[in-house]
């Protein structure tokens, strides 16, 4: 499941024009619906892949702060583990 979430997020985020928390959140929500997974599961996987953290700041905010290049690189790097 982790690989599906990370690859799906990477694909969606790479094509995202609105790189703000709202657009990112909408994209992540759509991914959860596509994979038939709860937002909680999707967010936990992305949080660990992007920040290596337990609950805290919202994932869309983390993604926005990291910026497109760093966020996509971290998602790709997380697949190596």
Q: What CATH number did the domain enclosing 69 receive?
A: 1.10.10.350
pLDDT at 36 over 80: yes
* Number of domains forming the structure of the chain: 1
User: In which domain, by residue range, is 27 found?
Assistant: 2-78
Q: Rounded distance, CA 21 to CA 71, Å?
A: 13
Query: What was the pLDDT predicted at 81?
Result: 66
In the predicted model, what is the mean pLDDT of residues 29-48? 91
In the predicted model, what is the mean pLDDT of residues 18-32? 90
pLDDT greater at residue 14 or residue 50: 14
| Residue 70 pLDDT level (bands cut at 50, 70, 90) | very high
Backbone phi, psi, residue 71, to 5° = -65, -45
- Tokens of residue 39, six digits: 């937002």
What's the whole-number average pLDDT of the chain? 88
């Amino acid at each position: 499941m982790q690989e599906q979430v990370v690859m799906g997020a990477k694909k969606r985020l790479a094509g995202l024009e609105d790189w703000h928390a709202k657009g990112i959140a909408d994209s992540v929500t759509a991914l959860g619906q596509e994979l038939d997974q709860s937002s909680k599961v999707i967010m936990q996987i992305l949080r660990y892949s992007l920040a290596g953290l337990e609950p805290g700041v919202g994932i869309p905010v983390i993604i926005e702060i990291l910026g497109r290049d760093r966020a996509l690189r971290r998602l790709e790097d997380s697949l190596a583990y």
